[in-house]
A and B are shown apart, each in its own frame.
Chain A
């Protein structure tokens, strides 16, 4: 094998923790990141050296995250509900901050409404920067299933954003998605 567990830990702990932080928040992210590497350490000898390690790691974390899907949805709904009300100040910076805050609320609400399987694929792509092929590897899914879930999730997000009037989203056609 071209890399050791220590090297993979060194390279991947920080980005994995960051990904999990976005999914479930600070303290749980640290637990799940550590647990992901604990599982990886136990299964290290099972890792096929010809396969990339990153999808394998995120696949482990995805299995751990499944237990927290409800919690994640509650968290997203919390973000969607949060806010400081209408902005009173009229300066440009305040308005921009308010717009950004509203946009994040819409995004969080849309994420919360996604099917958990679709959300998993979308966020592996958006926040973990995994490709379609890597997501398929991580979740042990056919490539076509990943593409269709990702397309459905993006479409749902974009519909929600468009309905909110927050942004005019750049819609991707099914052809472009392939």
Chain B
């Protein structure tokens, strides 16, 4: 067998347990808590308790609630047939879970995306877009240009009384409906939810509307 040392390193250290949602949320809360002015010495050398204890502080706990809407969970490229819920809120004042997605893959290739909205806007209308980037890394995708490959507008329904949300919508997107189908590069879902009587174009300047985006994801699974 002839092998490259770099590839061997990758092969033998390929198993990494997935970060659970709580860990990601705590990390975000810790990073953005802003309570420290500098990093004096390594945490462990100073005898500082592990992160999980430090961020149990009330201030950090309060931030966790807000961060819950911001952080993504699970893997980003999705090796499994289905990934856990993902969510991210970029602009708006809803505390938790306005939007989440479920990716279904078949042999690595994306076959469908389940999209769910649970909003605190009564009778909201939603504009949902899928954008495509030729970038191969997330950072490049965020910084680079994108092309809208799918767009739809939907009206929400009133959820059951047991729900804390005022409006909801669920649907399934199929890559075959997107312009160009399933391409290489990265995709992202962007959405805007508006109150009745508000246009999507003015959503960001109107208080009470929400907008957000999913994490970047691959369609081909490569």
Contact = CB atoms under 8 A, between A and B. Distances in A.
Interface of A: 2-15, 17-18, 21-22, 26-28, 30-31, 33-35, 37-42, 52-54, 64, 67-68, 100, 103-104, 107, 111, 122-123, 125-127, 154, 157-158, 161, 167-170, 172
B43 interface: yes
Given A127-B13, A168-B1, A169-B2, A3 B32 contact: no
Contacts of B4: 169-170, 172
Contacts of B137: 54
B88 A10 contact: yes
A87 to B, nearest CB: 18
Contacts of B5: 107, 154, 157-158, 161, 169
Nearest to B3: A167
Contacts of B139: 3, 8, 11-12, 52-54
14 contacts: A3-B142, A9-B70, A10-B70, A12-B138, A13-B24, A14-B24, A21-B16, A30-B51, A38-B30, A64-B42, A107-B8, A127-B10, A158-B5, A167-B2
Given A107-B8, A122-B9, A157-B5, 16 more contacts: A3-B139, A7-B142, A10-B70, A10-B88, A11-B216, A13-B71, A15-B76, A21-B16, A35-B39, A35-B43, A41-B34, A42-B36, A52-B139, A126-B9, A161-B5, A167-B2
